[in-house]
Homo-oligomer: A and B are copies of this chain.
Amino acid sequence: MSKSGQPTINDVAAEAGVSRATASRALSNYGRIAEETVERVRAAAERIGYRPNQVAQAMRAGRTKTIGLVIIADFTNAFFDRVTKAVVDTAKREGYQVLISNTDEDIEVERQAIENLLEKKVDGLIVTPATVATHDHLSERALRGTPVVLIDRRLDSVRLSSVTTDDFSGAEQAVRHAASLGHSRFGFLIAVPGIKGFTEDRPALMISPIEDRVNGFAHGAIESGVKPKQQTWLFCEDNPLSSQAAVAALLDRPKAPTVIFTSNNDMLLAVLKVAGNRRLRIGTDISVMTVDDSEWAAAMVPGITVVARPVEDVGRIAVENLVAQISDPSTKREKFVLPTELLARESVANLKLRPELDPSSQTKYRDQE
């Protein structure tokens, strides 16, 4: 018996009347061994309730069959939970377990978490980098051969695999959708980690998915012939107070937007809240759309039009690529960019079919309904 009272393979061997080596052979199915002995050892193991010690196996084999997931807990967008589930499930299918760390968007915590996971000798890492600025902890030399796959955020300057979504196209498509429905005044509400309050000035440094969304929105506007003066941009701290203030500012404009694009669900919720308080009906008095689908967005009436990201695929592909790298270190590093999808629901009014809803149209149809 071991110190902890758990039976070891030595106990199995003793119980079966064979040597430790033979017991190991019998249980792990390798080498030359008589079928009859295998049966006897298996029975002995069963009898004494033997459980292989994976720590000792890891020690011997030099691999732990464990991967580390370093991610940012983020509830409203359901990225954290959906990706975590996808990673855990895919990892299980591939024979791996998942050690999870939450960084809360703090680069120092991230550094520490990665260090700790490397000490735990994970076979690979999946990381959502907190910032796009520094990443020496993700350098070749810091990782010393441990494979890493980045998710959700690109780090262009680093030669690692990454799995992201095509947020540029998604955002572009969103603007085109609203434009095709006759909208002409566009509000953009962009959540930016690290900012204070809200501002019209575009921050210099944004994490890649936000950067992409901003560029995509802007490009979609150009493609749809939307003039700059038809656009209002607000970059906002990611919390209820700031975002609601920003929404109020947006709605208080002399020429308020007819449609508001939000960069994540926190901002969407702010729009819902403020609009509701002002008795503005979503999809009628004010239109809104956002990035990231959810069961809530789908079940609300009116349903919220969203750019859906294949979050489960992000997790799955990250694990698959990581496992490939683990099995064969010469596996090519790849930068996956998964397609997004516009789910048109009812939160964006069709001003072409209902021009009376368009405050920017000359003729006043109001109250006619």
Contacts and interface: CB of A to CB of B under 8 A. Distances in A.
Interface of A: 2-6, 49, 51-56, 58-59, 62, 64, 66, 73, 75-76, 78, 80-82, 84-85, 88-89, 92, 97-102, 115-121, 141, 144-145, 240, 266, 269-270, 272-273, 275-277, 294-296, 299-302
A276 B281 CA distance: 13
9 contacts: A6-B144, A53-B121, A54-B119, A55-B64, A73-B85, A80-B85, A92-B102, A272-B300, A296-B296
A4 B62 contact: yes
8 nearest A-B pairs in the assembled complex, by CB-CB distance: A276-B301, A269-B299, A81-B81, A73-B85, A296-B296, A54-B119, A273-B299, A54-B120
Given A89-B102, A144-B5, A59 B62 contact: no
Contacts of A99: 66, 97-100
A75 B82 contact: yes
A173 B78 CA distance: 30
Q: How many copies does the complex hold?
A: 2
A117 B100 CA distance: 14
A118 B51 contact: yes
A256 B304 CA distance: 28
A97 B82 CA distance: 20
B3 A62 contact: yes
Residue picked from A5, A296, A300, most chain B C-beta under 10 Å: A296
B119 A52 contact: yes
Given A56-B59, A81-B73, A276-B300, A102 B121 contact: no
A299 B277 contact: no
A127 to B, nearest CB: 15
Contacts of A115: 51
Contacts of A73: 81, 85, 88
Contacts of A53: 119, 121
